[in-house]
């Protein structure tokens, strides 16, 4: 069966380097001596810690409670003793710390109470609560809480549910290997998502440079006997695995920036997320581990199933980093982030630990001026004009940068990849975006302060008036009391006058 | 000669009329200047500028009675924006009104607080909660860091603490490769 | 300090782009040498050396890293274009002056590489043709390849009156602009020795040389098809329409496309990324406007060729063209199923 595919503009073809790490099966990484589980692992609010130092936790026990509507739970990934709840270095370029639950494993790896969820008989809202409490987030790297996405949209059903197995970033093979080895679970997870979102069809998009995964997934669809699920090989071109790009390729629909894809009858989940959703609902297991690719400057690149909270150093040690290693990158070479140290923990967003060296990732050559050649614009998968955004970001004219749709930029790195002037374009966009966000935040809080100040002035004014009115009322009251005595005489005089007038008229008549 | 003069005169009358008409017809009702200035000011209501709040300062700037460099919380950035808006020359912050400090919030030492409510009355944005003879506390997300609560406190239990940078508020720095390469060469 | 992602890059550089442009000029230059002798090579050498010296001086005055910019190739591209657009037997100082105008004034005074709003080579050409119209229209006759004589002309030892003649474009325009001559296009073609079969003796072969190099540039993705296609298409169309209306007064499309600087302009001058439009639609408008102005200046103007002036005029329009031709971003195209809801 041939399906009509669409294409997106731009994109690049970097060296994929996937065969390094997809030769060996997924291995389970051992439990480390210490697990550091950051509370903030998904988009949205930071979960509140539920445990204290000295407490014993079971594997899968809730240790972080979602805070706010957009937030997701965090669980202990093995059983053991909570050593501390304290700020630790985060797997984030900033090198800043945030609150983490530090667990000393007891070696028993005992599950707490877990039980399958009768999700078919549950209300959709309750199923979503289960997913939130299971801590399932998008495992493609965006870590958006999945329960918010399991949603049939305004029409009450989806036309297409896209399962993203494209995995377009070089070096990364975690989805590839998971599809090869655990295809059936992924397909079952996709089927659950299909039923929850009432999707007419499910398209699992896989880049055609992963023929084994495509075969395995096709076989899995047959074995599971699930209907309305189709495996679609898509042409290999970075960033075909971007959610919007894959939706475009598979359905022809372009979801504009800031719009919900469900408004167009589409939703997109990563294959790993589908797997995690199956585990959460059918087995009752929260998300406590994920598949992580270790590749780059190592002896044996491979995929590992790693407990969340395992220090990256211990995972890298399994693959043996070569001596000239100069950095650890979380993610791939196009969009990954350099880590401040190799002690940072593996989190839900860690799809790959890329080990770098000066030879593998040479330092950027000196930046030349932009010659407006337009290569970046031709490479941009969102049809932006990167050099214009660069120009205005560099000059700190942020309003203009936004006019050139800075916030449509997905930071895929295609522009910087092709730039003959070797300008770190994405760095300029990140800089401009975070400046704009900070300014907006500042402006918001200034607006709140202004409103509260004006309200306070009003209130003070009102209180003053009320006080004055009260005083005036009191004064009037006293006056009235004083006057009351004399009032009786006055009335008599009036009556007398009236009587006199009447008398007068009578006399005339 | 006379014809030329007449033609030119007529032309100028017509064009002048058209321009005048356009000016009336297409008049853009802009935000009053005070509002625009007030939008730039940081709304700490701290009074460091010598006016009782941001709005009065904005009014004074609009009337030309105050300079644009009297707002320490707004900092150089704010002065630059005001200079842009008003078409005036940028000036460094005037020292007599204070210095630019990192953004901070007030924190009440709960062990010392005697519950006198003086700070509650001083807070321009009602960011301090508490009652008489009860311990007070600052709602950090609402505190503008104006420091107006420091002085009234009879037991000096309020401190200004700089807001620490966290993973959420961290900002990407301006790329510096260009400067490095220049040094290298 | 380590950089941020992307950590991998395509092996592309400004130098590579510029070297490809220089390489693409070679076929045209080879034919040029075959038709007009080695004088042009001498001009290229003079221009290149001047350009490098001027570039180095300006860079050191502006405190820019010398090594990085001096060999980026951009100065050489400018130099070669000047050498190729000036008459091959122009005196050496004319070439030097042209290169200095281009590098010092048109490039560095505007901020150097990437900042110049006008095409430096064309600024130089315009300045020279206004200042030295006589020298700028003296070309050797096609087939005159006496190296010694040409070198003497360049270095001022001898004046080559005997072999000097106007370019076919110039000759045709002068003849048609002289009312008492009652000239017609075919008449001029028949009577003037400069005219070959199509674009003037030898000129059509040089044009073909540039065409081959230009097509290679398109194939190498150094330039996109938009500018050459719109330029040649518009120039051809304008010439064709005029020729259909009055064949006696307006030369046909083949003549216009294969003479003067048309091919050089289409692939090497109008495609300058820095001073040209950057959007796809903008490039079409830019090149079409450029070609139309070129034709107007060629046919009705007072200068031998119109590309230089047309380029500067269109350079001015680039910001406006770019502003109105911004492509719709992803999700806002209104094509296929997606787009604005």
**String of DSSP letters for B39-92:** HHS------TTSSSSHHHHHHHHHHTSS-S---TTTHHHHHHHHHHHHTPPP-P
C3/B182 Cβ within 8 A: no
**Confidence (pLDDT) at C336:** 43
Minimum Cα–Cα distance from C60: chain B residue:
B185
Alpha-carbon span C84 to C47, nearest angstrom? 10
Cβ distance C4 to A377 less than 8 Å, yes or no, reads no
Q: CA–CA separation, A63 vs A101, rounded Å? A: 8
What are A213-243's pLDDT values in tens digits? 999 999 999 999 988 999 999 999 999 999 9
Query: Which 3-state string (H, E, C) describes A355-407?
Result: EECCCCCCCCCCCCCCCCCCHHHHHCCCCCCHHHHHHHHHCCCHHHHHHCCHH
Q: Give the residue from chain A lying closest to B143, CA to CA.
A: A449
Over the stretch A97-120, which tens digit does the pLDDT of each residue have?
Answer: 999 999 999 999 999 888 888 988
What is the distance between the alpha carbons of residues A355 and A322, in angstroms, rounded to a whole number?
Answer: 9
Measured from the Cβ of residue C164, the count of other Cβ atoms closer than 10 Å reads: 16
A453 in reach of chain B (CB within 8 A): yes
Q: Check residue B117 and give left, alpha or beta (phi > 0: left; psi -120 to 50: alpha).
A: left
- Using a CB-CB distance cutoff of 8 angstroms, which residues of chain C are in contact with residue A418? 10, 12
Q: Are the C-beta atoms of A300 and A319 separated by less than 8 Å?
A: yes
- Quick one: pLDDT at residue C196? 61
Positions of E strands within chain C: 139-140, 164-165
Q: Which residue has the higher pLDDT, B51 or C47?
A: C47
Alpha-carbon gap, residue A289 to A109, rounded angstroms: 13
Confidence bin at A498 (pLDDT 50/70/90)? confident
Instruction: Give the whole-angstrom CA distance, residue A466 versus residue B108.
Output: 32
Enumerate domains of chain A plus CATH numbers.
27-319 (3.40.50.11540), 364-503 (no CATH)
CB atoms under 10 Å from CB of C106, counted, come to 24
Chain A window 36-75: which residues touch B at a Cβ cutoff of 8 Å? 40
Among the partner residues C1, C3, C65, nearest to B182 by beta-carbon distance: C65
The residues spanned by each domain of chain C are: 14-165, 166-325
Looking at the complex, does the CB of residue B185 fall below 8 Å from at least one CB of chain A? yes
Q: Do A364 and C9 touch (CB under 8 A)?
A: yes
Nearest to B81 by CA among A394, A388, A437, A398: A398
Domains B33-97 and B101-165 share a fold: no
Q: Are A453 and B53 a contacting pair at CB < 8 A?
A: yes
Regarding beta strands A62-65 and A74-75, do their DSSP bridges make them parallel or antiparallel, or are they unpaired? antiparallel
Cβ contacts of A264 on chain C, cutoff 8 Å: 337-338, 341
Taking an 8 Å cut-off on Cβ atoms, the answer to whether B142 and A448 are in contact is: yes
CB C121 within 8 A of CB C85: yes
Please indicate whether, in this complex, the C-beta atoms of A326 and C9 are within 8 angstroms of each other.
Answer: no
Per-residue pLDDT at B31 exceeds 70 = no
C5 closest CB neighbour out of A257, A335, A365: A335
Q: Rounded to a whole number, what is the distance in Å from the CA of C30 to chain B's nearest CA?
A: 37
Cβ-in-10-Å burial (0-12, 13-18, 19+) of C36 comes to: buried
A/C interface, count of CB pairs below 8 Å: 162
Chain B residue numbers with beta carbons less than 8 Å from the beta carbon of A431 are 171-175
Distances in whole angstroms, Cα of residue B100 to Cα of each of A445, B57, B70: 18, 17, 11
Q: What is the 3-state secondary structure (H, E, C) of A142-188?
A: CCCEHHHCCCCCCCCCEEEEEEECCCCCCCCCHHHHHHHHHHHHHHH
Both structure tokens of B2: 């006379």
Interface of B with A in 143-182 (CB under 8 A): 144, 165-167, 169-175, 177-178, 180-181
Chain A touched by C319 (CB under 8 Å): no
Percent of chain A at pLDDT exceeding 90: 75
Under an 8 A CB cutoff, do A449 and B172 touch?
Answer: no
**pLDDT, tens digit (0-9, with 9 covering 90-100), for A60-98:** 999 999 988 889 999 999 999 999 999 999 999 999 999
Is there a contact between A333 and C5 (Cβ–Cβ < 8 Å)? yes
Q: Give me the mean pLDDT over the C235-255 stretch.
A: 91
Whether chain C has a CB inside 8 Å of the CB on A151: the answer is no
B181/C64 CB distance under 8 A: no
In whole angstroms, what is the distance from residue A415 CA to residue A311 CA? Answer: 33
Do A177 and A28 meet the contact criterion of CB atoms below 8 Å apart?
no
Percent of chain B whose pLDDT exceeds 90: 21
Task: Report CB contact under 8 Å: A385, C328.
Answer: no
Check if C181 contacts B (Cβ < 8 Å): no
Distance from CA of C275 to the nearest CA of A (A): 8
Q: How far is B64 from chain A (nearest CA, A)?
A: 22
pLDDT of A68? 83
Confidence of residue C262 (pLDDT cuts 50, 70, 90): very high
Which token pair is C4? 């941020």
3-state SS assignment for residue A508: helix
Q: Does the beta-carbon distance from B43 to A40 stay under 8 Å?
A: no
The torsion angles phi and psi of B66, rounded to 5 degrees, stand at: -125, 155
Quote the radius of gyration of chain B (alpha carbons, Å): 26
Q: What is the per-residue pLDDT for A114?
A: 86
pLDDT of C207-232, one tens digit each? 999 999 999 999 999 999 999 999 99
pLDDT tens digits, one per residue of A370-382: 999 999 999 999 9
> In B, which residues are within 8 Å of A456 by CB distance?
124-126
Whether pLDDT at C2 is above 70: no
Domain boundaries in chain B? 33-97, 101-165
Q: Kindly give, in sequence order, each residue whose CB lies less than 8 Å from that of residue A13, ignoring residues fewer than 6 positions away.
A: A236, A237, A238
B33-97: which CATH architecture? Orthogonal Bundle (1.10)
Neighbour tally for A468: CB within 10 Å:
10
The span from the CA of B22 to the CA of A24, in Å, is: 76
Looking at the predicted structure, is the pLDDT value of residue C146 above 80? no
What one-character-per-residue DSSP string does C286-316 give? HHHHHHHHHHHHHHHSSSS--HHHHHHHHHH
Nearest alpha-carbon partner for B119 in B134, B98, B99, B97: B134
CA distance C294 to chain A (A): 24
CA distance A327 to chain C (A): 8
Read off the pLDDT of residues A164-203 as tens digits, 9 standing for 90 and up: 999 999 999 999 999 999 999 999 999 999 999 999 999 9
Tell me, rounded to whole angstroms, the distance of Cα C271 from its chain centroid.
9
0.80 cut: is pTM over it? yes
**Option in B127, B144, B171 nearest A438 (CB):** B171
C325 Cβ under 8 Å from any chain A Cβ: no
Nearest residue in chain B measured CA to CA from C3 = B177
Contact C91, C154 (CB under 8 A): yes
Mutate to test the interface with A, among B45, B46, B52, B175 (most CBs of A within 10 A): B175
Q: Do A366 and B185 touch (CB under 8 A)?
A: yes
Q: Chain A: nearest CA to B74, how far in angstroms?
A: 11
Task: State which H helix or E strand residue C190 sits in.
Answer: helix C185-191
Euclidean distance between CA atoms A83 and A57, whole angstroms: 11
State yes or no: cis peptide before B106, omega within 30 of 0: no
Segment among A272-276, A406-410, A498-502, B163-167 with least mean pLDDT? A498-502
Best of B127, B170, B179, B184 to mutate (most A CBs within 10 Å, chain A): B170
Q: Report the alpha-carbon distance of residue C226 to residue C271 in Å, rounded.
A: 9
In which residue are the tokens 């502006």 written? Answer: C62
Tell me, what's the pLDDT at B13? Answer: 94
Could you give phi then psi for residue A267, rounded to 5 degrees?
Answer: -145, 155
Residue with tokens 């002896």: A299
Residues in chain C closer than 8 A to B178 (CB atoms):
none
What are A452-495's pLDDT values in tens digits?
998 998 999 999 999 999 999 999 888 888 887 666 677 777 77
Q: What is the CA radius of gyration of chain A?
A: 33
Residue in chain C closest to A333 (alpha carbons) equals C7
Nearest CA among C143, C233, C146 for reference residue C193: C143
| Bridge partners for B129 per DSSP | B137
Best of B170, B177, B179, B185 to disrupt the C interface (most C CBs within 10 Å) is B185
**CATH architecture, range B101-165:** 2-Layer Sandwich (3.30)
- Mark yes or no for CB contact A248/C338 under 8 Å: yes
Element (H, E) at A356: strand A352-356
The mean per-residue pLDDT over the stretch C83-87 comes to 93
Q: Which residue of B has its CA nearest to C68?
A: B185
Q: Nearest CA of chain C to the CA of B169: how many Å?
A: 19
Looking up tokens 């395509």 gives C10
pLDDT band at C162 (very low <50, low <70, confident <90, very high): low
Confidence of residue C335 (pLDDT cuts 50, 70, 90): very low
- CB A449 to CB B184 under 8 A? no
**What's the gap in Å between the CA of A335 and the closest CA on chain C?**
5
Q: Does the CB of C67 have a partner CB in chain B at under 8 Å?
A: yes
Q: Three-class SS of residue A443? A: helix
Residue C55: its chain A contacts at CB < 8 A? Answer: none
Contacts with C, A 370-389, CB within 8 Å: 370-375, 377-378, 381-385, 387-388
Kindly state whether C11 is in contact with chain A, defined as any CB-CB distance less than 8 angstroms: no
Chain B, chain C: beta-carbon pairs less than 8 Å apart: 12
Distance CA A157, CA A444 (A): 37
Q: Does A367 touch chain B (CB under 8 A)?
A: yes
Q: Reply yes or no on whether the pLDDT at B28 is more than 70.
A: no
Per-residue pLDDT band for B175 (boundaries 50, 70, 90) equals: confident
Residue B29: predicted pLDDT: 64
Element (H, E) at A353: strand A352-356
């Amino acid at each position: 069966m041939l399906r009509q595919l669409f294409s997106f503009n731009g994109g690049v073809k970097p060296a994929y380097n996937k065969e390094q790490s997809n030769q060996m099966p997924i291995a389970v990484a051992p439990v480390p001596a210490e697990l550091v589980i950051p509370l903030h692992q998904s988009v949205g609010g930071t979960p509140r810690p539920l445990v204290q130092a000295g407490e014993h936790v079971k594997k899968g026990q809730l240790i972080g409670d979602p805070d706010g509507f957009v937030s997701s739970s965090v669980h202990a990934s093995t059983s053991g003793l909570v050593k501390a709840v304290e700020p630790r270095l985060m797997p984030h370029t900033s090198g800043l710390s945030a609150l983490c639950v530090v667990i000393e494993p007891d070696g028993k790896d005992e599950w707490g109470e877990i039980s399958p969820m009768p999700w078919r008989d549950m209300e959709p809202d309750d199923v979503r609560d289960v997913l939130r409490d299971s801590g399932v987030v998008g495992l493609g790297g965006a870590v958006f809480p999945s329960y918010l996405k399991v949603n049939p949209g305004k029409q009450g059903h989806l036309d297409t549910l896209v399962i993203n197995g494209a995995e377009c970033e070089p070096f990364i093979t975690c989805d590839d290997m998971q599809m090869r080895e655990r295809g059936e679970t992924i397909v079952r997870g996709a089927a659950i998502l299909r039923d929850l979102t009432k999707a007419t069809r499910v398209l699992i998009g896989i880049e055609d440079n992963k023929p084994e995964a495509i075969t395995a997934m096709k076989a899995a669809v047959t074995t599971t006997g699930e209907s309305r699920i189709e495996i679609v090989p898509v042409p290999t071109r970075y960033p075909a695995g971007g959610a919007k790009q894959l939706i475009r390729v598979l359905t022809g629909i372009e979801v504009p920036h800031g719009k919900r894809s469900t408004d167009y009858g589409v939703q997109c989940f990563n294959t790993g997320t589908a797997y995690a959703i199956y585990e959460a609902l059918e087995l009752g297991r929260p998300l406590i581990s994920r598949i992580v690719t270790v590749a780059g400057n190592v002896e044996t690149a491979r995929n590992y199933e790693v407990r969340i909270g395992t220090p990256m150093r211990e995972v890298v040690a399994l693959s043996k980093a070569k001596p000239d290693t100069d950095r650890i990158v979380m993610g791939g070479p196009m969009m990954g982030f350099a880590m401040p140290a190799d002690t940072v923990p593996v989190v839900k967003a860690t799809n790959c630990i890329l080990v770098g060296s000066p030879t593998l990732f040479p330092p950027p050559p000196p930046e030349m001026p932009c010659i407006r050649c337009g290569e970046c614009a031709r490479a941009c998968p969102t049809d932006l004009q990167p050099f214009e955004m660069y120009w205005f970001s560099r000059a700190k004219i942020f309003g203009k940068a936004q006019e050139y749709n800075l916030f449509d930029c997905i930071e895929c790195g295609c522009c910087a990849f092709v730039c003959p002037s070797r300008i770190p374009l994405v760095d300029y966009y990140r800089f401009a975006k975070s400046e704009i966000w900070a300014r907006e935040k500042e402006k918001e809080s200034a607006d709140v302060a202004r409103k509260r100040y004006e309200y306070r002035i009003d209130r003070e004014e009102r209180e003053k008036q009320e006080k004055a009115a009260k005083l005036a009322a009191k004064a009037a009251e006293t006056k009235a009391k004083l006057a009351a005595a004399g009032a009786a005489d006055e009335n008599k005089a009036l009556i007398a006058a009236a009587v006199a007038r009447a008398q007068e008229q009578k006399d005339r008549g | 000669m006379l014809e030329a003069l007449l033609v030119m005169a007529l032309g100028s009358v017509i064009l002048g009329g058209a321009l005048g008409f356009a000016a009336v017809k297409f008049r853009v009702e802009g935000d009053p200047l005070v509002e625009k200035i007030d939008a730039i000011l940081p709304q700490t209501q701290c009074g460091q500028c010598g006016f009782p709040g941001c709005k009065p300062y904005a009014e004074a700037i609009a009337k030309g009675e105050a300079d644009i460099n009297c707002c320490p919380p707004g900092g150089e950035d704010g002065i630059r924006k005001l200079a842009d808006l008003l078409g005036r020359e940028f000036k460094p912050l005037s020292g007599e009104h204070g210095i630019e400090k990192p953004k901070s919030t007030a924190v009440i030492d709960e062990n010392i607080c005697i519950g006198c409510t003086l700070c509650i009355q001083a807070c321009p944005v009602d960011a301090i909660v508490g009652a008489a003879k009860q311990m007070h506390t600052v709602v950090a997300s609402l505190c503008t860091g104006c420091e107006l609560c420091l002085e009234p406190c009879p037991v000096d239990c309020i401190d200004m603490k700089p807001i620490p940078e966290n993973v959420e508020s961290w900002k990407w720095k301006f790329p510096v490769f260009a400067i490095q390469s220049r040094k290298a060469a | 300090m380590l950089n941020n992602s992307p950590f991998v890059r395509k092996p592309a550089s400004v130098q590579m782009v510029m070297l490809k442009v220089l390489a693409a000029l070679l076929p045209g230059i080879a034919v040029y040498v075959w038709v007009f002798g080695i004088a042009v090579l001498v001009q290229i050498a003079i221009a290149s050396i001047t350009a490098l010296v001027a570039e180095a001086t300006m860079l050191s005055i502006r405190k820019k890293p010398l090594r990085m910019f001096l060999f980026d190739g951009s100065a050489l591209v400018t130099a070669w274009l000047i050498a190729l657009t000036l008459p091959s037997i122009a005196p050496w100082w004319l070439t030097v002056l042209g290169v200095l105008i281009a590098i010092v004034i048109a490039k560095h005074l505007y901020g150097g590489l990437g900042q110049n709003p006008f095409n430096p080579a064309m600024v130089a050409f315009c300045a020279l043709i206004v200042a030295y119209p006589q020298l700028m229209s003296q070309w050797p006759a096609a087939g005159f390849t006496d190296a010694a004589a040409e070198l003497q002309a360049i270095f001022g030892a001898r004046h080559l009156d005997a072999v000097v003649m106007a370019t076919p474009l110039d000759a045709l325009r002068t003849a048609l602009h002289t009312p008492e001559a009652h000239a017609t296009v075919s008449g001029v073609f028949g009577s003037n020795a400069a005219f070959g079969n199509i674009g003037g003796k030898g000129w059509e072969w040089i044009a073909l040389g540039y065409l081959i190099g230009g097509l290679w540039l398109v194939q190498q993705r150094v330039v996109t098809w938009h500018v050459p296609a719109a330029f040649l298409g518009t120039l051809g169309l304008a010439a064709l329409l005029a020729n259909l209306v009055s064949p006696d007064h307006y030369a046909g499309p083949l003549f216009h496309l294969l003479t003067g600087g048309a091919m050089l302009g289409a692939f090497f001058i109008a495609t300058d990324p820095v001073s040209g439009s950057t959007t796809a639609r903008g490039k079409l408008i830019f090149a079409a406007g450029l070609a139309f102005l070129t034709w107007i200046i060629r046919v009705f103007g007072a200068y031998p060729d119109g590309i230089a002036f047309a380029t500067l005029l269109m350079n001015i329009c680039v910001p406006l063209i770019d502003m109105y031709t911004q492509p719709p971003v992803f999700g806002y195209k209104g094509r296929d199923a997606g787009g604005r809801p």
